Amino acid sequence: MNHSVNLIYNDNLMSPLDASKLIIQKTTTPNEKLANDKLVFGKTFTDHMLEIEWTAENGWGTPTISPYHKLTLDPSTIVLHYAFELFEGMKAYRDTDNNIRTFRGDKNMIRMNKSADRICLPTFEGEQLQQLIDKLLVLDESFVPKGQGYSLYLRPTLIGTSESLGVSVPDRALLFVIASPVGPYYGTGFKPVSLEATDYAVRAWPGGVGDKKLGANYAPCVKPQLEAAKRGYQQNLWLFGDEGYITEVGTMNVFFVFKTEDGKNELVTAPLDGTILEGVTRDSVLELAKDKLPSDQWIISERKFTIKDVAEKAAKGELIEAFGAGTAAVVSPIKSIGWKDQEINVPLAAGDSGELTKQIAEWIRQIQYGEVEYKNWSRVAK
């Protein structure tokens, strides 16, 4: 039943997404650039946006970069009724040579196509969209902030734009990309966060869509987040099943470091079983850890584990550290987890985080800001 993304794409005999057809229409009224300390995540945007329309009849239309502008939608548009919508989160960084770099955008393109396929929105060749995003970055490069922790957040979004209240396969869609200069996601910066382990509400389930970056996965999480906030927690740690399996945080994947019985360290995160977002940062953490941590001292695991396991490890002094990993916050140290009546305290050996958390954040930062070349993970926009 699951076709590969490539097959779907090749099945499509209509116009493919073609970056070479790009039309650029520059703004005549440039926006003011805000100082770094005035940046709020996702609140202000660059001068331009990228748009590509798609119809079932003709395929992908002409890509256009034009001044940032409102969208005009009929009130019957399916994105407003049936959540035909998905997005990606990517960041662009300014390196010391003033190049603008994106981080593993190819992974975002693959995931975006998987999300699109799951809700019958059109797929496309990822490299074409990456090239178009590069053009947007070159045009709006002055909005990419300087400084550690600062970047230009990119939001590729795909919405169904058919105008009909019948629930059926979209015959029109709009892919757009907007860009917002941002600082650290949490107002607290690289400060540890507290999570509430949540089991009364369930984010995702087997056979559902929790592993796709669909809008549908987000609105339902806000009320539990509000409830957690009332009790002093910044985010929910989503548990699954009677066993209390640890899944993810909703805006981040989650990693723990345990001391094992034979004195090694285990870096562990939940496996991609269909209930967990396939995070690009998650993948990067795993790959860097496998590559850089000494294998005689470290075990890197994608396996199921429960909140009870974490509580037991903590009680025995074998919980070393924990952190969230996601594009918005990159790496976010965890200081405590509220679970039923107990508070699981997570050590912060490096001050505001664990030692590995700090190390991994730095490894990723160096690649993102182009200080270190690593595989093909960093791409210079041209």
| Residue 186 binds to its own copies (criterion: CB under 8 A) | no
- Sole binder of its own copies in the list 13, 75, 263, 296 (CB under 8 A): 75
Residues 349-378 that bind its own copies (CB under 8 A): none
- Alpha-carbon distance of 290 to 254, in angstroms, equals 17
- CB closer to its own copies out of 82 and 374: 82
C-beta neighbour count of 286 within 10 angstroms: 19
- Looking only at residues 143 through 182 of this chain, which bind its own copies when binding is defined by CB under 8 A? 153, 155, 157, 159-160, 163-169, 176, 178, 180
Calpha distance 322→346 (Å, rounded): 7
347 part of the interface to its own copies, by CB under 8 A: no
- Among 115-123, 258-266, 294-302, 374-382, which window interacts with its own copies (CB under 8 A)? 115-123
Among positions 7, 14, 120, 349, the unique one binding its own copies when judged by CB under 8 A? 120
Binding of residue 34 to its own copies (CB under 8 A)? no
Least distance (Å) from its own copies to the CB of residue 32? 17
Question: What backbone phi and psi angles, to 5 degrees, belong to 163?
Answer: -105, 85
Task: For the CB of residue 43, give the shortest distance to its own copies in the complex, in Å.
Answer: 5
Which residue number, 24 or 201, has a Cβ lying nearer to its own copies? 201
Q: How many Cβ atoms from other residues are within 10 Å of residue 293's Cβ?
A: 17
Q: Which residues contact 280 (CB under 8 A, 6 or more apart)?
A: 103, 104, 107, 108, 111, 327
> CA-CA distance, 270 to 255, in Å (whole number)?
8
Binding of residue 301 to its own copies (CB under 8 A): no
Residue 77 DSSP symbol: B
CA separation for the pair 91, 279 (Å, rounded): 14
Give the chain's length: 382
Q: What letter represents residue 51's amino acid? A: E
Applying CB under 8 A, which of residues 67, 82, 106, 110 lies at the interface with its own copies? 82
Q: What is the DSSP letter of 61?
A: -
258 in Cβ contact with 319 (< 8 Å):
yes
To its own copies, the closest distance from the beta carbon of 39 in angstroms equals 12
Total number of residues binding its own copies (CB under 8 A)? 67
**Contact set with its own copies (CB under 8 A):** 1, 40-43, 45, 49, 68-76, 79-85, 87, 117-120, 153, 155, 157, 159-160, 163-169, 176, 178, 180, 199-202, 205-209, 214-223, 225-227, 250-251
